């Protein structure tokens, strides 16, 4: 299992961060330009990563401190996205984990890109949710 992690501290209440992340409609704002064809509901998102893959993500669990999202409908490899939200005084710490079950070749090709994606998403979240 390949685990990619990114964290960020946001100057906003945990409830605001949770409300943003709990709705997959908002996740399009976190994605880089090579994510195209985005369609979403609160619980599911469908999109293409240009020249790479088509993905369908679905929320599998929500609670005020954590949101779990899984790739469904024949992803290129099993994939879980986990957003953990922790209030720290007037700020909120957000931990984002991408867990992917990839073979060694896929890991060599994709892990760097997944780390860039995770870091991009957490920084973009900070920009969008900060007061």
Mind listing the pLDDT tens digit for each residue in 29-85? 999 998 999 999 999 999 998 877 789 999 999 999 999 999 999 888 899 999 999
CA torsion 38-39-44-48 (nearest 10°) is -30
Has residue 5 got a pLDDT over 70?
yes
Closest CA to 91 of 29, 15, 19, 9: 9
Query: CA 37 to CA 50: how far, in whole Å?
Result: 9
Query: CA 21 to CA 71: how far, in whole Å?
Result: 16
- pTM comes to 0.92
The larger pLDDT score, comparing residue 76 to residue 10, is at 10
Give the start-to-end residue ranges of the domains of the chain.
2-23+61-129
Q: Give the pLDDT score at 46.
A: 95
* pLDDT classification of 20: cutoffs 50, 70, 90: very high
On whether the CB atoms of residues 16 and 97 are closer than 8 A, the answer is no
Has residue 131 got a pLDDT over 90?
no
* Alpha-carbon 52 to chain mean position: 17
- pLDDT tens per residue, range 92-106: 999 999 999 999 988
Pick the CATH number of 2-23+61-129 from 3.30.530.20, 1.20.150.20, 3.20.10.10, 3.55.50.30: 3.30.530.20
Q: Give the pLDDT score at 89.
A: 87
């Amino acid at each position: 299992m390949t685990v990619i992690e990114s964290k960020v501290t946001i100057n906003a209440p945990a409830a605001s961060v949770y409300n943003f992340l709990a709705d997959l409609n908002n996740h399009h704002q976190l994605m880089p330009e090579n994510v195209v064809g985005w369609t979403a509901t609160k619980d599911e998102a469908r999109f293409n990563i240009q020249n790479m893959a088509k993905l369908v993500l679905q929320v599998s669990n929500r609670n005020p401190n954590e949101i779990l999202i899984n790739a469904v409908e024949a992803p290129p490899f099993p994939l879980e996205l986990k957003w953990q939200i922790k209030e720290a005084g007037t700020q909120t710490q957000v931990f984002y984990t991408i867990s992917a079950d990839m073979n060694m070749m896929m890991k060599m090709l994709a892990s760097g890109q997944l780390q860039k994606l995770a870091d991009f998403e957490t920084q973009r979240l900070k920009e969008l949710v900060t007061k």
